[in-house]
Structure formats: structure tokens, C-alpha cells
Structure 1
Amino acid sequence: MNSTSSDAPDSPVPPEPTPVTDDNLAHRRKRRRNIALRIVIGLLGAIFAIWLILFITKGRFLKEPVESIASSLTERDVAVEGDFQLYFAPFRIKFLAEGLTVSNPKWATRPHLFTAKRIDTRIAPLALLFGNWRLYWLDLTEGAVDLEWNAKRTANTWTFDSKGDAKPLELPTIDRATLRDTSIRYRDPVLQLLADLDFATVVSSDAKIGEAVRFTGDGRLRETPFTLQGALLTPNATVQRGQNKLELQARAANNIIDISGTLPSLADIEGVPLATRARGGNAAELLGIIGVVIPRTRTYRLNATLVKQDRMYRFNALKGTFGASDIAGQFAVDMSGARVHVDATLATKTLDIIDVSPFIGYNPDVIAARGVQAAAAATGAAPARLLPNASLRAEGLRAFDADVRYTATRLRSDSIPISDISVVVDLDDGLLKLSPLRLTMARGKLASDIAIDWRRRPAVTRYDIRLAATPMAQLLDGFGVAEAGTNGTVKGRIQLTGTGDALHESLASSSGRIAFVIPRGTFSTRNVQLSELDFGTFVQKMFENKLKEPVQINCGLIAFTVRGGSAAADPILIDTRKNVIAGRGGFSFATEQMDLAFRADGKKFSLVSAQSPVGIGGYFSQPRLNVISPELLGRAGAGLGLAVLAAPPAALLAFVDVGDAKSAACGPVLQGATAAGQRTTKGKARDDVGNGKKATSGQKGEKKFLGIF
């Protein structure tokens, strides 16, 4: 039977919600405030208790925990030998430690990063929470700091980072300080720099530490010892993180370097322009300190603005002198790579020729005092020689790279007028290129490409020197040759390859070709007639007082083939309106001897003509002109015999030139062809210009040093 019991219990009824009233909300907020207040009071009480305990005990009981925590965080051994205090006094953190030591990493050369007989300081706690160190007061006695980089410059001793990431050095803000017997040591194996600085006792109060903080020191940079001294001239600003004026003077390798500037802080020189002045007797000694090899210079003085960015050192607004020459521009030294790299743009208004001499191996001081020959002898060259035997250090030229752009407006010289010099220097791992090297010489343009491979032992040098058409009058004017009556030009090319670390060695072993072409033009009679040795014409013009009358040159070629340092005429051939001049012989770069002979054959009948070779012998430094050759003496003897047998007028027959010289075809001459390619105007091969294989003059009675003609 389905029925519902009347006595079944009723379902539970939920209580009605308490209505939200203003009184209820106020009660809840009050309860929360009370809880927060109890928490704050509890924290303040705990802090006060801690402060009180620390203040009463001076925190000495924290010595071992602090040593342990500091050692764990820094991964260094931190220890305090004597008294230790760490507490709030009253709101600043007081830290005192006697015999404090902080160890260095194992790779460092010194056991400790920091040691102090006694350090007593007050630290700003709020600044510390934001990662900044501000010391209201510091008293340091016999403090020593060791700052080092590792061998690869990837880590340093002052960066506490297990990953090994090196960070720049940052010093804390110090309001007042007392420093006694403080020293700093800095070591950088990559830069090969070691410096030790000792600071004079510094006492400050109320953020004032007197007029200057002075320091002295010494060290070594790339095996070169140096000393330095300096001062912080406005240390009162420095201790408050203001600007500080620095003055420093360093002495190294007979050079004096002065640096001054304004630093934002003691250790912050990154990007700060510093006025730099350097002076000394030889700039090569200065640059040699950082491993950059250049030829020696005379006394120099340089001013520049130095800006350091990491391992890049830029010298801007460079200006100064070396020897009797001026220099300006800018250059940068990058020490971040495996080799030092120099990048420079330099310019000179007036370049003294003596200051150029070191770049080919001469000592400029010797040249200035005693001349080129004495300077060559000073390099080990034999007597009477001019080419220097001095060599640059090949190993030094592989220690750095360089990109240099240099210009000079004028070369100060007593002979050849040279101006508008420009050269691009590229040095890459011992391969030195001077390309292009350009200059203006007597209104002619000279361009060259020179490459010296110092990676090969001995060095291999390739010369390619090109002379554009140059007026001979201006070219020879410096040698006392009259300009009037001469409008001829000369152009040429020198291509040689040699081995050796010195200029003399390189040329003495060289092979290649030298050729100078003379296109159509006129030349002063005074200059030409002695070469042609046409006595009849010369005497006739001398009595007619027409020495300035020009002689027409159709074409000319003075060329040599060089083998093993010996140059053989190949050919010497000059065609003029009246004569054909041919030359034989040659010279040696090894001995610097010359053995040349020039012979002029007339194209027309001449009653009085010697027709004998003019010999040029001797050395580059002491050339000898042999006008009265053995052949001429023989002909004079024959004339004397004829005069005895017949009559005095018959003696003239020995000097008669029948005028059978064959005119030269100017095409091969102007093309610089070898002797085998020379032709007469009728197209026949010439038989009076040799074959370019024997470098002798053919003069009798003289020792031939290049072969037998």
C-alpha cells in the first residue's frame, strides 16, 4: 500500500543569511587592521631584537656565518683573522674586520684578490637593497687589491660569477675616507701589461680629502719596463661620484707620455677623451712598446686625444712633428684580436727627405750629420756603396696588422722636385703592400705597387714602378742642367723581383727589366753633345757661342735586363737628327759598380769626330766619366803616325766620321722592345745594340765585372 507516513521528519531548512550592514564591514576591516598591526609589531619587534642583539654583541657572533655565506656566494675563500663586527649603528651598517682576506680564483698569480690589515666602514642599507654600494665612511689600513685577467681575457679576479662572464670594474661611492699604505696591482696577459701602483696616505672628512691624491708605480708592457706618477687633482668630487681631474706621466723606452683629462669616476675611463702628449728621440721605440714595428725616426713630439673603448685605443686630432717634418691625422690601435691592428689616416705638409731615409734602411741622424754614404756604411755596407744593408725585424712585422693611408704635400729635397705623395699601406700577417704609391716628380706622375712578403725567409719583394711622361728639363734641373732649350720627356717602368730582408739584398738578387723611353723632343746642346762626343760640332758651337741651341731627338730607349742583380743594357739606343747613340755594358746592384760605354755614330759626314765610346765606371756613389778612352788614344796615335809619314793635315783623317750610322726605327724604341727587337728605318735588325745578355762595356784595359763582351 502506497502511503506517506505523517510522522516523517521534515527536510532541513538553511539559515537565512546575515544581512550585510555598515557595522559588519567596519568590524571586518578592524579585525584585518589588528592582524596587520600585530604582524608589523612582531616584525619590528623582531628587527629591534635583532638590532639590539647585534648592537650589544657588535655582531661578532656572525663572523663564521658571514665567512661561510660570503665564501659560498662568491665561490672564494673569505676569512677574517682578527676582530669582526657587523651591526646597525644606529641605522647604517657598520662593518669592521681585521686581517680580512678574499681569495683569488685558482688561475690567478696572486693568492688574494683583497687583503687589509684593518677595514672599518659604514654602508648605506637602502642603496645596498638596490644593488648599489655606498660607503658613508671608509677607514682602510694596508689594503692591497690584485686585479687580474686570465690568459684568454675571458675572466677576471673581481667578477664573482660562476659562469666566468667578465664584468668591468666598478668602485663604490665613498663619501669620506682614510686610506693608509694602499696598493693596487693590475695584470693583463693578453695586453702583456703588469702595473703596480702605490697611493700616498689619503685622509678625508666631510666628503673632503684635500687637494690631491698622488700615486706612483712601475710595471712592464710587452717586456718594456715603465714608471709612472700621477695625481687626482679634484678627489673631493670623485668621492661623491662627481668629475675628477687626472694627471699622469709615464716614462718608457726613452719616451715620456703625459695624459690628462676629466674622469666621471676613479676607474671609469671608457669613452672619456684624454689629452695625450708624447715626446722622445725615436717614435719607433714608442710604438715598439705595443709591438708595432716602424723604422726609426728623429726626435718627435705628438699631441692627440685618446679615447679608450674596451680594447680599442683611438688617437684623434693627432698633430706634431718628427725630425724636420710635420704630421697630422688620426690612428687607432685595436688590441682585441690575435694580433694588434693599426688603422691610420695621416698627412704631412712638408716631408723632409732625411725623414724618409729610415724607410729604406738608413739612420736619419747619421745622414743628417755625415751624409748618405756614411749612413750606408753604418748599416754594414762595403765602402763606396749607397744601398743600405739594414733590415727590419721580420718577426716583428708578423706581430701586427695595419691599414694606413698617408699623404704628403711636398718633399723637401735639394735635387728632384717631388710633391703630392700618397700611399696606402696594407700589412696582413707579414705581407706588406705599398699599393698604390703615387707622387709627382718634376711635373711627371710616378705610380708604383710594391709588395714585400715577410712570411717567406728571406723576404721576397716585388717592385713595379711606373713613370708617366716627365719633362726632362724639370727632372734634371736639380742636378744643375740648364732647362732652356730642352722640351723632351721621359717615361719608364721598373719591374723587379728579389729576395732579402734589406734593400741591398733584395736588389742584389733581383731579376726583371728596367726601361726608360724618350719620345720625340729637343735637348740642350750642352747636355747632348758631350754624350754624342762629336768634337767637331761641339767646338764649332762653342766658338759660335751657340751652346744653348737644342738638338732634335727622334726617339730613345735606355733599358736593362736584370738577372741575379746584374743589369745588362738591352738596349741603350738614342736616335737624334745627326747621330745614333748606342750603349753597351751594365751595372751590378750587388757591388754597385758600373761599366757602361756610349758610342755616337754620325748620320752625316763630320770632319772632326772622335767616334769613341764614353765610359762610365766607378760606383753608384762615385761615378767616373772616361772621355779619353783607350780607343780614342789609339786613334790619336794613328793620327800622329800619319802626320809623321805624310803631313800634319793628314792626322785629321784619323778623326773623320763618314756618317754611315743607320737611323733607328722608332716603333720598337718607343715600345721598349729588347735589343733583339730593334730595327733600322729600313726594317733590318740592328747589330750595334748587343743582345742584352752580357753586361760589359767592351772597353779595353779595364777589368770587366759582369762578363766578357
Structure 2
Amino acid sequence: MPADPPPPARKPLSRPWRIARNVVIGVVLALFLAWLVLYITKGRFLKGTFERIASAQTERRVSVAGDFQLYFDPITIHFRAEGLRVSNPAWTSKPDLYAAKAIDARIAPLSLLFGKRHFHTLDLADSTIDLEWNRAHTQNSWTFGSKTKGKPLDLPRIDLATVKGTALRYVDPRMRLRTDLTFASVTSSDARIGDAVRFSGSGHIRDTPFTLRGALLSPNATVARGRNKLVLAADAANDHIDLTGTLPSLAEIEDVPLQVSARGRNLADLLGIIGVAIPMTRDYRVAAQLVKSDTTYDFTKLTGRFGNSDLAGGFTVKVIEPRLHIAAKLTTRSLDIVDAAPFIGYNPDVVATKGAVAAAAATGAGPARILPDAALPIDALKNFDADLRYTIGVVKSRNVPISDVDLTLSLKDRLLKLSPLTFAMARGRVTSDIAFNARTRPTQARYDIRLSPTPMARLLAGYGVDEAGTSGVIKGRLQLQGVGDTLHDSLATARGRIALVIPKGTFWTRNVQLAELDIGTFAQKMFQGRLKEPVRINCGLIGFSVRNGVAAADPILIDTEKSVIVGRGGFSFKNEALDLAFRADGKRISIFSGQSPVGLNGSFAKPGIDVISPQLIERAGLGLGLAVFATPVAGVLAFVDVGDAKSAACGPVLAAQPATAQRTTKGAPRDDVGRGTTAKAEDGNKTSSERKGQRKKFLGIF
């Protein structure tokens, strides 16, 4: 049997390949020898080199007083230092950024070159950590380099930590925040729980003290697979916050869903801690999911209650320069009208227990006033910008039915806009554009509120009036501009116009005739059993010109089927005084007509009706004189309305034009609607006797 042929001789490597092979072998041997030397010596001889390089790179003094180790074990970097100190910049209030009796860590090598630093284990003993921003918020103690702008705190990923006797201090002058935390290591006997890093502390944010406590629970590695549970509870003022979640590592909260809940007496106090101003609330309880991503805090799936109202939605807080920004989309299905009181400055608790007048007084308003003197939070408006979309299904109110509220709010560098603010009211629609410009002082306020045609019957029904027999509608607009840091002050300086237009429709005879004091017609209707017979309104205008906070009738003119109702006088936003008078002149002759002004006086909080006017007393005196000195029948003549009222041209009325533009149906200028001015209401400080003495001048005397 022939022998197998010898194998072919291997071709020797070329010279370049031999060189490359030898280099690789040499590098591997060198790395192995370096690893072996470091492993045997534990890298203790690198202590001085480490101090020099670390000090040069950080521009801080870095020193190790005791034992030092730096080596691969076997792949991860094992670092140990006793008496390690890293100094702080000269501007800080503490000498050291970090000082520790001992630190022992195992670090993923590639994480030091690529991506986020990754600590497999970290053991700290008797450490102090001082984190501080400068007053200009341009530098902080943990960002190395004297010319490097301060960066947000970026903690490494830590899988498992043992912390004992460690204290952390954080100071931020711009946020007016200081907190001191202490850490203690506790080992649980639970089979599923290994080490737990527990911490507690206290501090101040702005002028509010707070305390907090919590734990980072590190489950057994075979069960947890690197997951750690965070449990935190904090108390500030009258608010309590709970936060829980599962972290991929002990110090990694980026992009991790956390469950947060809060409860307390006033949600405004809670947000006020970070300088964000919202209207105050009654007792609240809310819960949401929080995800932090870089400088963005996203709160989603928010649910809860404040007072007797519900709340849902979400919001995002971005910590950016020059001001933090809040974007929110919130929904309330049912809003208690008392819970809405803070939107105009009332304390809802006072409103609920004592009423609007007491709530206004609590803000500094004068006696028997209802406009609050609560100032806009000008200082807080400097701290943040905001965009809000808030919708409300139904507002629970005893009188006026309000629903479908839709509010768009924007705040940009102290310019606050509620535009648009819309809601349904008694089957009508109110649309508002309101702005407060706090960039100038005092604040410039602008109000533009429009009422679409709204059934009068639905409005009156809220005050106990039957809707049947009333088909009239009302529409209107309020346009005012004023200056002042409170609602009262901005209205007390306001200028503009208020107009309510009543197009053609019908009203109850009882309501209209009582207003006209046409006693004969009212009695006749009542005896005939026709109390609800409708009276036709041809057109009507209740208009006011507002100058320096005083509103003067301009004009009040309502043209009905049988009479013309006119009014004069006005009211004052300064002292909330009312001084109006209404009179009806018949288009047809009527016996027993009072033909005398009905006065509306008092204040916004306590309006009064003056039926027995001086004119009625004079007419009664005249009738009595005629009855005594002539015949009893002659006394009736003093109460006869000859029916000479001139019908109103409805064009200028429906166009809401001022008194000077009003005409009769024959085109003649009206001489019974005044000139849109009033003398008395402009002085909110006169005494009662002075007001009585000027009554004729104010009312213009009919």
C-alpha cells in the first residue's frame, strides 16, 4: 500500500505580517504584565500620579491621606482610597466638594471613555458631599474647570451601593434652596431584600422649611436584576408628598416613570415653594406619573380633587433660562363655584363659611365691598412662563347656569393673557379676552367680555322666576382698560364702555309692570286673571360710559309696547356705590300711574330699591291738596299719565350707541336719556348727607 504523500510545506508569513503579529503579541504581553503588576501591587504606587493628574484635570486639590488602590479586578476597575479629599472652588462656603474616610468602587472601564459612568458597586464610609451653585447661577462646585459653565448634576449609574455615615449638602441661592441629607446603611432580614440605602434630611426652599425621608431598596441580585426601588416622603408647610418608583440603578432617575402623590390644604402653597403662582385652593389631593428627562419634568395621568371639584390632565415643567416654563392641559368635569372664587382673588374657605363680602374684606377691601383687593403675584410672575389649556364641564352654581368653560392662558415675561376664555351661560355664550401687563408698574389691565344672545328667561330662572312667557334675549359687551395691581384698583381707574342690548321679545306683564309702577294696568291685569300675559319689548339698551372708574348711564333706554323706560345715574368701581333711577313714561293714558323714578341704591354687596321717591311724595302731596281744596276726583289727576312718551328708534339702541345718538321714531334727538355723565358717583368719599344733598344733580331729576 503506497505511503501518504507528505503535507505541503506552510508558506512562511511575509515580513509585514510577522511584524504585526509580534506587535500584537508584545502589546498583549505588556498589557498582561501591567495588569499583573497592578493586580499584585494593587496599584498603590500610582497614588502620587493619581493626585497630580486628578488635580491638574479638575483644577482642584485632590489628595489621598491613607491607603490607595487602583487596578483591574479582573476586568472591572477596582478603586479604593482612604482619606480622599477634593477641594471646592474659592467662592464656595465649604472647603471641600468631597471628603471621605473611605471609598471603594468597582467601575466599568469602557464607561469612563464612552457613555455614562457606570459603577457596579460603590461603598462610602463617613463621607461628606457639598454641592453648591454661585449666586449668579453660572458655576457650581461639581463642574470642574474655572472657565466651564456650571452643568446640571449628572450622577453615574450605580448598581449596588453601601452608604454609611454620609452627609450631603445642596445649596442653590437662585432657588433659595438649601438641604442637608444624612445616609445610613441598613440590611433587611427579608429574603428578597439585600441592602437598603436610607436617608433623611431637612432644609429650606425660599421661606418654607421642609423635611424628607426615604430609602433606595436594593433587592437581591438574583431576583432584582439590577432594579432598585425608591421610596421618598416629604413634608413642606401643610403639604405632604410621596414618591415611589423602580430605578435601573441606585442613582439613575432619567427617563424612569415615578409615581408621585401630594395632599395638603392649598395647592398654591405647594407650587409656591418653587416660585410658581396659581390661585389658591381648598384641601387638595392629587396623583400623577413623573418622568424626568434632562431638565424636563413631565407629569402625566394626573387625577385628583381640590375642594369639591375634580381635576385631571397633565403638565410639564422645563427648567430653562431665563425662566422655567410650565405647559399644562387640565380638565375639570364639575367645578364648585366656591372653588372658582380664587380666580378673582377670594379665599375659598372664607367664601364658603362667611360669604363674598367677608372674603373681600380678608383681602383688604373696605367695609361692605365685594371686589377683592388681592394683588397680582407680580414677584412670582417674574420666575416662570406658562401655557395652559383648562376646560370645565359644569360649574355648580345656585343662580346662573354656567358650563363648557374653555380657558387658554399664557404668561410670557410678566404678560398674563386669558385669551380666549369662553363659557356657556343660560344657553348663551360668553367670550372674553383679558390681559394683565405686569412689565410696567402698576399693572395695565384690559378686559373685553362679550355676551352672545342669551335667553332672559334662563337668566331669571336662576333667581326663582318662572321661565314661561318670556322670550326676550340679551346680548352685550364690556370693554375696559385700567391700571392697578389688584382687580379693584384696575377697575377703579378704568375707562371704556359697558352695553347690554335687548332685541325684540316678550316679558312677563308682572315683571315689566312692577318695574314701571303702572299700578292701574298691573291691577287690571291681576283682576282679570291675566298675570302672565306677555308684554312686548321692541328694543332696549342698558349702556354705561366708564371714566376713571365711574360708570354713567349712556343711555338706559327700553322701548316697550306701552311705555318707554329710561334711566339715569350710575355706579362707581371706586367705592362700589349704586345710584340709579328708572322711570317709565306711558305711550297711552293711564290712571293711577306713579310716573316716578324707582331708585337702585346702596352698594354692589347690598343693593337697595327706593320705590318711594321724592317725586312720588310730591305727586302724592299734590293729589292730596287737590282732593282737599277741590274735589276728591281732582286728587286722582295728580296720578294720571297722559301717555306722551316718544317711541324709540331701535337702530341706535340695537347698535349700542351712546345717548347723543339716540332718536325717536320720527328722527328727533331724545331729550330724556341724559348725556352719559354723572357728577356724584365720581366722588367715592362723600358722606351720606352730602350724597343726599346732591341727589338731584346725580339723577338728573325726571
Q: Tell me whether the two structures share a fold, i.e. TM-score over 0.5.
A: yes
- Per-residue deviation at 1:502? 1.3
Give the conservation status (yes or no) of the 8 Å contact 1:398–1:429.
Answer: yes
Q: Distance in 2 between matches of 1:252 and 1:117?
A: 33
Q: In the alignment, residue 154 of structure 2 is paired with which amino acid? A: L
| Number of equivalences | 683
The residue that corresponds to 1:381 in the other structure is 365
Match of 1:592 in 2: 576
* Cα 1:81–1:560 shift into 2, 3 Å: same
1:553 aligned onto 2:521: no
Question: Structure 1 residues 233 and 648 mapped into 2: Cα distance closer, same or farther (>3 Å)?
Answer: same
Structure 1 stretch displaced more, 125-134 or 372-381: 125-134
Q: 2:651 — aligned with what?
A: 667
* Candidates 630, 640, 644, aligned match of 2:624: 640
Partner of 1:702: 692
SS at match of 1:285: helix
Shift of 1:70: 3.4
Q: Deviations over 1:48-100 (max 9, x none)?
A: 99469x54xx7655443442243334443221223445578899876553322
Deviation of the 1:586 alpha carbon? 1.0
Residue 620 of structure 1 corresponds to 604
Partner of 2:686: none
Within a 5 Å distance, the mapping from 1:200-599 to structure 2 comes to: 200-202=184-186, 210=194, 212-237=196-221, 242-599=226-583
Rate the CA distance shift 1:328–1:181 in 2: closer, same or farther, 3 A: same
Cα deviation 1:110-148 (Å, max 9, x = unaligned): 332321113456678798898997777765321223344
Name whichever of 368-377 and 152-161 sits farther off. 152-161
Contact 1:243/1:264, CA 8 A, preserved across alignment: yes
Distance 1:662 1:149, change over 3 A: same
Relative to structure 1, the CA distance from residue 172 to residue 257 in structure 2 (aligned partners, 3 Å threshold; closer, same or farther) is closer
2:639 paired with 1:655: yes
What is the SS of the residue equivalent to 1:338? coil
- 1:392-424: per-residue Cα shift (whole Å, max 9, x none)? 221222221111111111111000111111111
Partner of 2:4: none
Structure 1 residues 43, 301: CA separation in 2 closer, same or farther (over 3 Å shift)?
closer
Counterpart position of 1:181: 165
C-alpha contact (below 8 Å) 1:596/1:696 kept by paired residues: no
**Which secondary structure does the structure 2 equivalent of 1:433 belong to?**
strand
> Contact (CA 8 Å) 1:295, 1:392: kept in 2 or not?
no
Report 1:679-694 matches (<5 A). Answer: 679-694=663-678
User: Following the alignment from structure 1 to structure 2, what is the Cα–Cα distance between the partners of residues 132 and 555?
Assistant: 75
Structure-2 separation of matches of 1:38 and 1:356: 79
1:570 is aligned with what amino acid? D
Q: Within 1, Cα distance between the matches of 2:188 and 2:307?
A: 48
Q: Distance in 1 between matches of 2:472 and 2:582?
A: 20
C-alpha displacement of 1:684: 0.6
1:71 equivalent in alignment to 2:79: no
**Contact 1:469-1:489 within 8 A present in 2 as well:** yes
CA contact (8 A) 2:652 2:663 kept: yes
Task: Give 3-state SS (helix, strand or coil) of 1:640's partner.
Answer: helix
Q: CA offsets per residue over residues 154-205 of structure 1, 9 Å max, x none? A: 6654555687375863436566x65321223344555554333211135699
**CA pair 705-408 structure 1, distance change in 2 beyond 3 A:** farther
TM-score for the superposition, normalised by structure 1: 0.87
Give, in angstroms, the shift of residue 102 of structure 1: 2.1
Tell me which of 88, 97, 101 is aligned to 1:113: 97
Whose radius of gyration is greater, 1 or 2? 1
Identify the residue that residue 171 of structure 1 maps to in structure 2. Answer: 156
Counterpart-to-counterpart distance in 2, 1:28 and 1:340: 66
TM-score using structure 2 length: 0.88
**Structure 1 residues 694, 24: closer, same or farther in 2, change over 3 A?**
closer
AA aligned opposite 1:171: P
Maintained 8 Å contact 1:104/1:110: yes
Contact (CA 8 Å) 1:307, 1:314: kept in 2 or not?
A: yes
Structure 2: gaps spanning 5 or more residues: 1-7, 682-688
Q: Percent identity?
A: 58
Contact 1:250 1:257 survives alignment (8 Å): yes
The structure-2 alpha-carbon separation of the partners of 1:23 and 1:95, relative to structure 1 and needing over 3 Å to count, comes to closer
Cα distance in 2, alignment partners of residues 288 and 307 from structure 1: 21
The equivalent position to 1:604 in structure 2, one of 588, 592, 608, is: 588
Change (3 A) 1:106 1:651: same
Secondary structure, in 3 states, of the residue corresponding to 2:339? helix
Q: Partner amino acid for 1:311?
A: T
Q: Secondary structure at the match of 2:454?
A: strand
- What code does the residue aligned with 1:484 have? A
SS at match of 2:63: strand
Whether contact under 8 Å (1:141, 1:180) holds in the other structure is yes
Structure 1 spans left out of the alignment, 5+ residues: 1-20
* Structure 1 residue 35: Cα displacement: 8.1
- 2:118–2:156 Cα contact (<8 Å) kept: no
- Structure 1 residues 695 and 236 mapped into 2: Cα distance closer, same or farther (>3 Å)? farther
Could you tell me how far apart the structure 1 residues matched to 2:58 and 2:360 are?
A: 63
Using the TM superposition, give the Cα deviation of residue 485 of structure 1 relative to its aligned residue in structure 2, in angstroms.
0.9
Q: Say whether the 8 Å CA contact 1:259–1:274 is kept in structure 2.
A: yes
Q: Secondary structure of 1:99's partner?
A: strand
RMSD of Structure 2 on Structure 1 (CA): 3.6
**Residues 628-663 of structure 1: CA deviation (Å, up to 9, x unaligned):** 212111111111111112322221111111111111
Query: How far off is 1:467 after superposition?
Result: 0.8
574-583 or 641-650, which deviates more: 641-650
**TM-superposed deviation, 1:43:** 5.2
Q: Does the CA-based 8 Å contact 1:224-1:252 persist in structure 2?
A: yes
Q: Secondary structure at the match of 2:48?
A: helix
CA contact (8 A) 2:157 2:252 kept: no
CA distance in 2, matches of 1:282, 1:318: 17
